[in-house]
């Protein structure tokens, strides 16, 4: 673990050097704190696995949402942006605003459904779907339906934030929107992350290689 930890610290040190000439070193501290919060959530999951502890669904969800990494990625993405990003941007992001919550739900729940459907998670790991099925006495398909409804609701929250983008500039909100779009491209028609098929390839091509002119 020490080599991994040292490598991670080196990444943040390099980030400081890259933004120093613009006087934006303060941004890296916010990124580091976001990574610390992510690591703490991973540690909770690891302890559950080692102790063979089965949390309630709500307990699992409270810890699992941060482990998708989207809050950390959104905050880290602000580090390299221009003057449109201020200390207030980072304070806003650290407060877990609606759009970051929504993108996190989209990521976590779509991934949970795909993992369970395609049996990617190890048997000794906690599964959100299994927790939900056991606690509420429902079938896997019923659990999938509930999770998918949460995803639909989260997309409504994302759209709502763009209808009246008063808290933050659109350029800032776009970071969380694009993270959510990644999940839609990869998981809309199966597990396009593990098994890259026509749907995922077509989506990536349309987004990055042959985008539609606007």
User: pLDDT by residue (tens digit) across 104-162?
Assistant: 999 999 999 988 887 755 555 678 999 999 999 999 999 999 999 999 999 999 999 99
Identify the DSSP state of 211.
P
Identify the DSSP state of 189.
T
Could you tell me the two tokens for 87? 């200390």
Burial class (CB in 10 A: 0-12, 13-18, 19+), 64: buried
pLDDT-above-90 percentage for the chain: 69
Matching residue, tokens 């998981």: 187
Domains of the chain (ranges plus CATH)? 2-209 (1.10.600.10)
* pLDDT at residue 120, as a whole number: 58
Instruction: With beta carbons less than 8 A apart as the criterion, state whether 42 and 125 touch.
Output: no
5: confidence class by pLDDT, cuts 50, 70, 90: confident
- Nearest-angstrom CA–CA distance, 105 and 34: 17
Q: Is the whole model's pTM more than 0.85, yes or no? A: yes
* pLDDT at residue 129, as a whole number: 93
- Nearest-angstrom CA–CA distance, 38 and 25: 21
């Amino acid at each position: 673990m020490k080599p991994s930890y040292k490598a991670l610290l080196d990444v943040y040190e390099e980030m400081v050097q890259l933004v120093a000439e613009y006087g934006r070193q303060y941004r890296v501290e916010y990124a580091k704190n976001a990574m610390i919060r992510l690591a703490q959530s991973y540690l909770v999951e690891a302890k559950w696995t080692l102790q063979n502890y089965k949390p309630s669904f709500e307990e699992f969800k409270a810890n699992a949402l941060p482990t998708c990494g989207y809050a950390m990625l959104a905050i880290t993405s602000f580090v390299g942006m221009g003057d449109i990003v201020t200390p207030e941007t980072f304070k806003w992001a650290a407060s877990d605003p609606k759009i970051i919550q929504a993108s996190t739900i989209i990521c976590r729940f779509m991934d949970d459904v795909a993992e369970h459907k395609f049996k990617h998670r190890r048997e000794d790991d906690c599964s959100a779907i299994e927790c939900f099925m056991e606690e509420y006495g429902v079938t896997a398909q019923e659990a999938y339906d509930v999770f998918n409804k949460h995803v639909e609701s989260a997309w409504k929250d994302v759209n709502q934030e763009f209808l009246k983008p008063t808290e933050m500039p659109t350029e800032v909100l776009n970071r969380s929107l694009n993270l959510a779009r990644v999940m839609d491209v990869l998981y809309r028609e199966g597990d396009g992350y593990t098994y890259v098929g026509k749907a995922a390839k077509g989506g990536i091509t349309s987004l990055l290689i042959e985008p539609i002119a606007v």
